[in-house]
A and B are shown apart, each in its own frame.
Chain A
Amino acid sequence: VAIVGAADVVSPNGVLKKTIPALHAQVVKEALDDAGLRPSDVDALFTAGSTPMASLELAEYLGMRPRYTDTTMTGGSSFEMHVEHAASALAFGLCDVAVVTFAQTPRAPGAVGPGQRRRDWDPTWPSPLIEWELPYGLRLPVGAYALAASRHSSEFGTRPEDLAEIAVSTRAWAEKNPRARYREPLTVGEVLASPYVCEPLHKLDCCLVTDGAGAIVLSRADRAMHLKKPPAFVLGVGSCHTHAMISAMPNLTVTPGVVSGPKAFGMAGIEPPDVDVLEAYDSFTITVLLALEDLGFCAKGEGGSFVRGGRLGPDGELPTNTNGGGLSYTHPGMYGMFLLVEAVRQVRGEAGPRQVKDVDIAVAHGCGGVLSATSTIVLGSRATV
Chain B
Amino acid sequence: MSTRFEPPVSDLVKPFWDATRERRLVLQYCRADGKPVHYPREACPRCLGTDLEWRPSSGRGSVYAFTVNHVPGSAAPQLPLPYVVALIDLDDGVRLMSNVVGCAPSEVRVGMPVDVTWEPLSDGRALPLFTPRKG
- On chain A, the residues within 8 Å of B65 by CB distance are 147-148, 150-151, 154, 252
Of A59-67, A74-82, A117-125, A265-273, the segment with at least 4 beta carbons within 8 Å of chain B is A117-125
- On chain B, the residues within 8 Å of A147 by CB distance are 65-67, 85-87
Interface size class of A (residues with CB under 8 A): 35 or more
Query: What's the least CB distance linking B7 to chain A, in Å?
Result: 5
Instruction: Tell me whether A123 and B75 are in contact (CB under 8 A).
Output: yes
Q: B118 at the A/B interface (Cβ < 8 Å)?
A: no
Give the complex CA separation of A200 and B109 in angstroms.
12
Query: What's the least CB distance linking A178 to chain B, in Å?
Result: 32
Query: What's the least CB distance linking B39 to chain A, in Å?
Result: 5
Query: What's the least CB distance linking B75 to chain A, in Å?
Result: 4
Of A1-9, A48-56, A97-105, A136-144, the segment with at least 4 beta carbons within 8 Å of chain B is A136-144
Instruction: Tell me whether B110 and A130 are in contact (CB under 8 A).
Output: no
- On chain A, the residues within 8 Å of B9 by CB distance are 126
Instruction: Tell me whether A198 and B69 are in contact (CB under 8 A).
Output: yes
B83-112 vs A: 1/0 string, CB under 8 Å? 101110000000111110000010001110
Instruction: Tell me whether A130 and B8 are in contact (CB under 8 A).
Output: yes
Give the complex CA separation of A205 and B111 in angstroms.
25
Instruction: List which B35-89 residues lie within 8 A (CB) of chain A.
Output: 39, 64-75, 78-79, 83, 85-87
Give the complex CA separation of A146 and B69 in angstroms.
9
- On chain A, the residues within 8 Å of B105 by CB distance are 199
Q: Which of B8, B68, B70, B87 contacts A125 (CB 8 A)?
A: B8
Q: B10 at the A/B interface (Cβ < 8 Å)?
A: yes
Query: What's the least CB distance linking B14 to chain A, in Å?
Result: 10
Write the residues of chain A forming the contact surface with B, with a CB cutoff of 8 angstroms. Answer: 121, 123-126, 128, 130-140, 142-143, 146-151, 154, 195-201, 246-248, 252
Can you offer 11 A-B residue contacts whose CB atoms are under 8 A?
A123-B75, A130-B75, A131-B39, A138-B85, A143-B69, A147-B86, A151-B64, A154-B110, A199-B70, A247-B95, A247-B97
Write the residues of chain B forming the contact surface with A, with a CB cutoff of 8 angstroms. Answer: 4-10, 12-13, 39, 64-75, 78-79, 83, 85-87, 95-99, 105, 109-111, 127
Given A135-B6, A198-B85, list of 9 further CB < 8 A pairs?
A123-B6, A126-B9, A131-B10, A149-B67, A151-B65, A154-B109, A154-B110, A199-B67, A199-B70
